[in-house]
Structure 1
Amino acid sequence: MSRLARLRPGLPAATRVVVGGGLAAALVWVAATHADTLDLAAASGAEEAPVAPTSLATSTDTMCPGNELSGIGGVDDVGVGGLVAAASGPESLLPVPATGDGRARLTGGSATLEELSGRPTAAQSPLPRTGPVAVRATGSLAPAVTATQEWISGRSDLRGLVTTPCLAAGSDLWLLGGGSGAGRQERLVLVNPGGNPVTADVTVHGTAGPVAPARTETVPPGGRSTLLLDAVAGEEGTPAVHVVADGGGLHATLTDTWLVGSTPRGAETVVPADAPSSVQVVPAAVLGSGRATVRVVSTGGEDAVASVTLLGRDGPVATTEDTVVTVPGEGVAELALPTVPPGAYSVVVRSDVPVAAAVLSVPGDAKAAGDIGWATSAPALDGLGGAALPSTKGVSRSLRLVSTGGASTADLTLVVDGEQRTRTVSLLADRAADVDLAGASAVWVERTGGSGSLRGGIVSVAGSGAGLVLSEIPLEPVAVTSPVSRAFPLP
């Protein structure tokens, strides 16, 4: 039974979507307790009341990069317009009701752009011309809040759809994107949500390992620092950027813009890939209408041997093309993906040592105006994942869910015109399901069972044929609870 059904028994039963065939195996979990531990409650003479290991989050902070094409001294800012949208999840997604006062707002600098009120609700604002956007939520509105920024351009020198999730800060991040050429430009945007300066060591890796010594950047409190990677690795054809923060966490994005002569070839912003591991899954990549490659970086000192599998709706895609790539230690390699019918696919990279991965899609004619899509590997959803969906004119979206290593079940909730629509999705191992997001202001996915790893990605497109522009983002985990510490007075 879904959490929605448990908390809202009056709602209609969920619709079940089953992908693939076979038998489902029941899982039995057995918990054991041990008596040979020190009981501080008993030692103090106090009676211990039942305490849950987690409680609802009371404060959450995420950051959006803002206009990525601004903020570099000596380089003209480029206005991109765009929107930033935020959404609060339905009450049914919370393990217990959220009570008391709460506040959730989008801010640019000291200015409040928009506020959220109640559950579920959504709000959006024009993207500021420069500077980051903060999403800060407190009290009863802190759990299950997410945000996304998006812009679209059809200019003669800048073309593309760029969708970017707003994320919490991290301290060890890998970003894969960009390339070489006179008209290819990569901008690394570092955003500091904290109240103290944060330093970051930025290292660009290429085919043979680090391209140059680490460069140190200092990001001011509540501000951002933008680095043009051309100054560090302008000739590197397959860059991967490693950001290590000290003194706090940072939000990082890498924006790839491509202009060949006077022909705009596309734009995309990538967020950090999933933490390095021996299995990387890109849940949603648009393939089949042009060139596509997978980029893999070996994040340690050992060479990696990685195999690549494409997953369609019915499972692994058979191919006679090469699906194995060798990556030097701390180096980067690319593998051309097999030719497949046009559509959304999942890409699984399995390696003998930890790696990070992303997929580049270049749809259409490589010599004409077009767009590029960078799809990064996504984290597995152990609890709730979600995304706010900006109402950009002409953009349509779909969600792809994929389960690897075993079967998975999840409750999928769309919020359309303020109303929630929930159904259950069941996936067998190495199977995927695609969900149309038409009219939705937010999508939420709560993993409810199974032995597999569940991941999601959102594909956004506008136009068609030669006029197609696209963007692909991972479905990110959303904070709902925070750990509770337990302390008892010593006797």
Structure 2
Amino acid sequence: MSRAVDTARRGLRALRPALPGATRVVAGAGAAAGLVWAATTVPGALDLAAASGSAAAPVARTSLATSVAAMCPGTELSGIPGVDDRRVDGRVEAVTGPEDLLPVPADGAGRARLVGDDGTLAELTARPDAVEEDLPDTGPVLLTADGALAPAVTATQEWLRTSSDLRGLVTTPCLPASSDLWLVGGGDGPGRQERLVLANPGGNPVTATVTVLGGAGSVAPPQAQTVPAGGRTTLLLDAVAGTEAMPVVHVVADGGGLHATLTDTWLDGSTPLGAETVVPTAAPGTVQVVPATVVSGRTTLRVAAPGEDEAVASVTLLGPKGPVATTEDTVLTVPAEGVGELRLPDVPDGVYTAVVRADVPVVAATLSTVGDPESRGDLAWSVSAPVVTEVAGLALPDTPKVSRTLHLVSTGGASTADVTLVVDGEERTRTVDLLSERSTDVDLEDASAVWVRRGSGAGALRGGVVSTAGRGGSAVLSVVPLEPVAVTSPVSRSFPMP
């Protein structure tokens, strides 16, 4: 894939926006109006204010987020009894977003920090701010924020290894907990392992039901795993689905939310073929968009159909000039509660958006490989991304020799996005116009964080970040989706009964 990395870099340099100095992020009038407005009375509804004899003052239906918790998996290759731990020497970075991302000022005190098993690792104190620390040897890392520092805060962990037994660049965003998660990754190659890491940010134990789907349906009976409060549980997927060529993992949490990741490592004899940690895909839907797919000599789309009906899915590749024409097969049939794969069309090497459309809800991801299949290499899983409706952000750890690009796309209509990079503590913002079904790249050189705020337009805005290091046969890469961050939270209008 070295040609793909080099070609992508040249294209990205050509597309690189000329970022001005620190400027204010200006949201579209419609977006600003959608964030805060006065409460209104629904005709025919019971007016509790009138019943109490009190006149109700206008009440905002949204307010700034006041509490945020997100989990990082920590060192993924440790914590399984009977399996040797692998040291990765990773780092975790947490960032707060600029004030301009917030619809109203965040007044008062606030606190944001990274917490490990042994206590606080680092604290954030201002906007914008960034802190970075080594990953603990064991256990997850919790990002917690409250008060004035809760809106627009996020974190990312990353490690880079090029040793004889482990090779890869692994970038993982730290995400809030959820109760229903889908993870696409792994395979059955010799020496290939998948580790499922379940992390619990809550104060009570959570039970997770883990199901693995494959080409012929469910691979094994669902397994129950208990995740301790504030801790994590790691499962070696090979023990459940060691011979499955196309595993897709479904995690359902009971009693609270969980953060889940799937780490895919490959060592064929003495040849390391890559590593990647996969975060959950977007929720099942009839349209899935993988915004940053690195297409090389062989790039594969994997699709799972969770429901009781088989899925017929088609894939379209989008580039800067729109849909890419091809005469190759772009349709696959996926069995009910099963998984299917399709090799993506042979197109010029580069970074594309893969749009999957199906007749029933599906989940999707793409797999890209780097290097000669008979020598050392790396692999990258790109998962379908959620729509950015407000603000999305990603912390960018300061890993030596790693370069990054942001890949944005708008589907179903045009959109605008305000992209803010934080470089040496300074904000650099510009508005990016996105035509429908076309992609745009932004160079993230020297940035410690990237923030994307949706502007105007009717399209669905999504993004992904491609990170690379090295060139030619020594190249490694990692791809992550651009994840929404909490800026506001809904509030309800209520009055005491008379």
The question of a shared fold, defined as TM-score above 0.5 by the shorter chain, is answered with yes
- AA matched with 2:44: D
Aligned residues: 469
Q: Which residue of 1 aligns with 2:11?
A: none
Q: 2:394 is matched with which residue: 387, 395, 399?
A: 387
**Which ranges of structure 2 fall in alignment gaps of 5 or more residues?**
1-20, 27-32
> What CA distance in whole angstroms lies between the structure 1 residues aligned with 2:25 and 2:391?
18
Q: What does residue range 121-270 of structure 1 map to in structure 2 within 5 Å?
A: 121-270=129-278
State the Cα distance separating 1:13 from its structure 2 match: 7.9
Residue 343 (structure 2) pairs with residue 364 (structure 1)? no
Is contact 1:71–1:226 with CA below 8 Å preserved after alignment? yes
Change (3 A) 1:330 1:101: same
Q: 1:409 is matched with which residue: 410, 416, 423?
A: 416
Q: 2:440 is matched with which residue: 433, 439, 452?
A: 433
Change (3 A) 1:265 1:11: closer
- AA matched with 1:424: T
Encode CA deviations 1:55-91: one digit per residue, 9 max, x unaligned: 1111100000000000000111100001100100000
Q: Which residue of 2 aligns with 1:5?
A: none
Encode CA deviations 1:453-472: one digit per residue, 9 max, x unaligned: 00000000000110000000
**Which ranges of structure 1 fall in alignment gaps of 5 or more residues?**
1-9, 16-27
Residue 88 (structure 2) pairs with residue 80 (structure 1)? yes
Is contact 1:291–1:363 with CA below 8 Å preserved after alignment? no
> What CA distance in whole angstroms lies between the structure 1 residues aligned with 2:23 and 2:486?
27
State the Cα distance separating 1:365 from its structure 2 match: 1.4
Encode CA deviations 1:203-251: one digit per residue, 9 max, x unaligned: 0100011001100000000000000001000000000000000000000
State the Cα distance separating 1:121 from its structure 2 match: 0.6
Q: Which residue of 1 aligns with 2:471?
A: 464
Q: Which residue of 2 aligns with 1:283?
A: 291
- AA matched with 1:384: V
> What CA distance in whole angstroms lies between the structure 1 residues aligned with 2:211 and 2:25?
48
State the Cα distance separating 1:361 from its structure 2 match: 0.2
Q: 2:346 is matched with which residue: 314, 339, 342?
A: 339
> What CA distance in whole angstroms lies between the structure 2 residues aligned with 1:268 and 1:136?
25
Q: Which residue of 1 aligns with 2:281?
A: 273
- AA matched with 2:144: R
* SS class of match (1:253): strand
Q: Which residue of 2 aligns with 1:23?
A: none
- AA matched with 1:445: V
State the Cα distance separating 1:386 from its structure 2 match: 0.2
Is contact 1:172–1:242 with CA below 8 Å preserved after alignment? yes
Q: Which residue of 2 aligns with 1:3?
A: none
* SS class of match (1:245): strand
Q: Which residue of 2 aligns with 1:7?
A: none
Is contact 1:63–1:251 with CA below 8 Å preserved after alignment? yes
Q: 2:321 is matched with which residue: 314, 328, 333?
A: 314
Relative to the length of structure 1, the TM-score reads 0.93
State the Cα distance separating 1:33 from its structure 2 match: 7.2
> What CA distance in whole angstroms lies between the structure 1 residues aligned with 2:339 and 2:43?
51
Q: Which residue of 1 aligns with 2:483?
A: 476
> What CA distance in whole angstroms lies between the structure 2 residues aligned with 1:189 and 1:219?
10
* SS class of match (2:49): helix
* SS class of match (1:460): strand
Residue 112 (structure 2) pairs with residue 107 (structure 1)? no
State the Cα distance separating 1:364 from its structure 2 match: 2.6
> What CA distance in whole angstroms lies between the structure 2 residues aligned with 1:184 and 1:13?
48
Residue 307 (structure 2) pairs with residue 300 (structure 1)? yes
Question: Which 4+ residue blocks in structure 1 deviate beyond 6 angstroms?
Answer: none
State the Cα distance separating 1:325 from its structure 2 match: 0.5
* SS class of match (1:227): strand
> What CA distance in whole angstroms lies between the structure 2 residues aligned with 1:153 and 1:266?
9
* SS class of match (2:448): strand
Change (3 A) 1:219 1:146: same
